């Protein structure tokens, strides 16, 4: 896979797939611009090489229709402010208006096109749609790790028609970081996996036990594992159809001599409410009408001891309902232990990135992935279609 640094860029028209799928408030104001900030090093590099920069991205799920609330216009304004450099926004991503705007560009110009997903052909990976982007540029750079697990026109299709293509700095960093933390890590390697459902992380768990020394399981998904051990978890969320599967994972982990840690005590409540009464009980003493909301202090301490002695830590998924202040002690306790450890720690984006922010340890994490879904895809042992497309192109 070629890097952007391997491409002959001087004076070229460079099409860059970024991910500016950003959270907006009711006034269309961006509430988190980290994804824009993550692309600034590449954009500045391209400016230094006198390129004409054409940025493309999606926003939300408009399902092939024009939805004004999902316009990328706010992203163009924020990018311009962050760069202190003019950014032209174009009201579509294909068609005469786009071609006219690109024809007028001179080296140093930046254009951001409108939401790709206003056209259904994007998610369908339509080859003719991809060709329309190819006609705009001399070379293509994928800087959107967070959507590189999607087989879409702006990620995969375009790489088949623009021969001069490569990976951006962010994509390269994400792939290298994952490989260094899971495929060739310093040991001992500990994976901390949480979140709501076993089903969403089943493939990742099956893959991780082939790599890790310690596997920590928390969050609501731990209930299914506890039930596989014959523990009654009361009214807690459980995926009954996966109880046997959870047991098989624990058995496989034991066979591979993986140290697998589950909660031993939990924080429970009778209702799923931010003001609900809470109690701390051992996992063997959960009342029938109560539900698990967080891991308990003994569990937090045990999980923390495990990460403190790890050389590499990969974390994906909170330990409980951290969105509610009464039930975030476990998540924040583990987050603080990871932050304080001497090991190299990688956080798998999405809710985990938000949890790190809520627990105020963002600056202490070695790396926070920009793509929760793509990171999980890698944790499952799969290759990203967007990366594979660039690697195949490099072999032509």
Position 394 scores a pLDDT of 58
Q: Catalytic: which of 108, 247, 373, 381?
A: 373
Tokens read off for 319: 């330990």
Q: Which helix (H) or strand (E) holds 214?
A: strand 214-217
CATH number of 4-167: 3.40.50.1260
Q: Catalytic: which of 77, 131, 173, 197?
A: 197
8 A C-beta contact, residue 327 and residue 320: yes
Position 184 scores a pLDDT of 86
Please state the domain extents for the chain: 4-167, 175-379
Mean pLDDT of the chain: 94
Cα–Cα nearest to 232, from 301, 292, 278, 279: 292
By DSSP bridging, strand 139-142 and strand 88-90 are: unpaired
Q: Is 319 annotated as a binding residue?
A: no
Radius of gyration of the chain (CA): 23
Q: Is 194 a catalytic residue?
A: no
Residue 24 or residue 226, greater confidence: 226
Q: Catalytic: which of 35, 52, 78, 227?
A: 35
Position 178 scores a pLDDT of 86
Q: Which helix (H) or strand (E) holds 55?
A: strand 52-56
Pairwise CA distance, residues 58 & 18, whole Å: 8
Tokens read off for 32: 């988190």
The side-by-side arrangement of strands in the sheet containing 214-217 is 259-261, 214-217, 189-193, 312-316, 344-347, 367-368
pTM: 0.85
Cα–Cα nearest to 232, from 273, 300, 195, 281: 281
Q: Catalytic: which of 350, 353, 371, 386?
A: 350
Question: Residue 183 above 80 pLDDT?
Answer: yes
Q: Is 58 annotated as a binding residue?
A: yes
Pairwise CA distance, residues 373 & 38, whole Å: 17
Class level of CATH domain 175-379: alpha beta
175-379 and 4-167 share a CATH fold? yes
233-290, pLDDT tens digit by residue? 999 999 999 999 999 999 999 999 999 999 999 999 999 999 999 999 999 999 999 9
Q: Is 373 a catalytic residue?
A: yes
Pairwise CA distance, residues 52 & 111, whole Å: 8
Q: Is 45 annotated as a binding residue?
A: no
Q: What percent of the chain has pLDDT over 90?
A: 83
Q: Is 350 a catalytic residue?
A: yes
Question: Residue 54 above 60 pLDDT?
Answer: yes
Helix and strand totals (H; E) in the chain = 13, 15
Position 289 scores a pLDDT of 95
Q: Is 197 a catalytic residue?
A: yes
Let me know how long the chain is. Answer: 396
Q: Is 259 annotated as a binding residue?
A: no
pLDDT band at 200 (very low <50, low <70, confident <90, very high): confident
């Amino acid at each position: 896979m070629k890097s952007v640094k391997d491409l002959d860029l001087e004076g070229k028209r460079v099409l860059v797939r970024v991910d500016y799928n950003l959270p907006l408030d009711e006034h269309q104001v961006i509430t988190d611009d980290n994804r824009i900030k993550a692309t600034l090093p590449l954009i500045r590099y391209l400016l230094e090489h006198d390129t004409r920069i054409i940025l493309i991205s999606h926003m939300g799920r408009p399902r092939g229709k024009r939805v004004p609330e999902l316009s990328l216009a706010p992203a163009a304004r924020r990018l311009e402010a962050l760069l202190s450099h003019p950014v032209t926004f174009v009201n579509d991503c294909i068609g005469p208006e786009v071609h006219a705007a690109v024809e007028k560009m001179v080296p140093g110009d930046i254009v951001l096109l409108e939401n790709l997903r206003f056209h259904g052909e994007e998610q369908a990976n339509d080859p003719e749609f991809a060709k329309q982007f190819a006609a705009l540029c001399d070379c293509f750079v994928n800087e959107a790790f967070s959507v590189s697990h999607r087989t879409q026109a702006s990620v995969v299709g375009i790489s088949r028609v623009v021969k001069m293509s490569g990976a951006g700095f962010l994509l390269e960093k994400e792939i290298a970081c994952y490989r260094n933390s899971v495929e060739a890590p310093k040991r001992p390697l500990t994976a901390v996996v949480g979140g709501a459902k076993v089903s969403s992380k089943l493939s990742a768990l099956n893959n991780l036990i082939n790599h890790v020394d310690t596997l920590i399981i928390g969050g609501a998904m731990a209930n299914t594992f506890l039930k596989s051990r014959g523990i009654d978890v009361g009214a807690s969320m459980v995926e009954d159809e996966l109880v046997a599967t959870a047991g098989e994972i624990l058995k496989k982990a034991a066979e591979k001599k993986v140290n697998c840690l589950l909660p031993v005590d939990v924080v429970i409540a009778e209702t799923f409410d931010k003001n609900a009464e809470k109690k701390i009980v051992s996992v063997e003493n959960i009342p029938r009408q109560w539900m698990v909301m967080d891991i308990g202090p003994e569990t937090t301490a045990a999980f923390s001891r495990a990460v403190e002695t790890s050389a590499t830590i990969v974390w994906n998924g909170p330990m409980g309902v951290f969105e509610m202040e009464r039930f975030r002690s476990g998540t924040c306790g583990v987050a603080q232990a990871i932050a304080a450890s001497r090991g190299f720690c990688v956080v798998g984006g999405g809710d985990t990135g938000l949890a790190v922010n809520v627990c105020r340890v963002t600056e202490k994490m070695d790396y926070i992935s920009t793509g929760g879904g793509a990171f999980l895809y890698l944790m499952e042992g799969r290759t990203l279609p967007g990366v594979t497309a660039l690697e195949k192109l490099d072999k032509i």
